[in-house]
Every structure is written in C-alpha cells, then in structure tokens.
Amino acid sequence: MFFFGKTKTDPSQPHQDWPWALNLGGRPSMQLSWDVLESELRALNLDDPDSFLILEQQEPGDSKNYWFIQSSINRAGPKPGWYTVEIGWGSRQEMALWDLDVQTVEEVIPYFRTAYGRKPVDRTGFEDMSDMLG
C-alpha cells in the first residue's frame, strides 16, 4: 500500500468498481444476480455447442481494460465432459488467460462466487495459457 494514495489494482483479479455483465452462449443476459448466475452454471450442458457462460467486467470508458471468468463443458480434448474454468484479463499493455479443468459444477461454482463477490480468485492449479493469445 502506498502511504499517500491508492493501492494499485491487480489486473488479474475482479475490479471493485467495474460493472458486471453476464454473457450466456454468446448472448448478453438482461438479468444478473447470484441466483441467476448459479442457475445458469448448473444449466451448462454438453449437448449444446453454445453452452457457455462468461461473467465479465470492462473499465467504464475503456473497453481495452477488462476481466472475465468463464466456464463450459469440454466437448473434446483430454478431459471430455469435464468443466473448464478460464480467467482472463487485458489492458493496453498485456493480455492473459488461465485455465483449469474440474470434474463437477460444484467445483466451478466457488470460483464464480468469489469473483462475483469481487474477492481475489485463487488461481492455484490453473495453467497459464496466455501464450495462446494472439
């Protein structure tokens, strides 16, 4: 913490003062509450290729600064049927993407609950996939 002034915001974590937006399968949701978010996470399914959820923030006035957490069910790859949780952020200086596969939605929910509560999300066990970003 700086003696005079604010502490620097960690771009890898949810922002306290940026608004939330919820994207369901590529469509913005007009409703956002914890109950809606949890219900939509539980509704993710393997049969629908558009079954994914993104909880995202953008800095007001600068869409180049953003943070998100997203989830879907793996349709292929080494862990089909498992849930993927991804956390990403970006600014004019950097972009990052971290990925974790878990077996159940019960393992996914705490990450979203923490993020939605604007608390630091523990990335222990996540893999840094940032090198895959263009």
* Helix, strand, or coil (residue 43): coil
Residue 105: per-residue pLDDT: 97
Q: Which amino acid is at 18?
A: W
Q: Which residues of the chain have pLDDT under 70?
A: 1-8, 134
Q: What is the pTM of this model?
A: 0.91
| pLDDT the model gives residue 43 | 96
Residue 132's pLDDT is 87
> Using N-to-C axis directions, what is the helix angle for 34-42 and 105-116, rounded to 10°?
160
Contact 41, 84 (CB under 8 A): no
| DSSP secondary structure letter of residue 117 | T
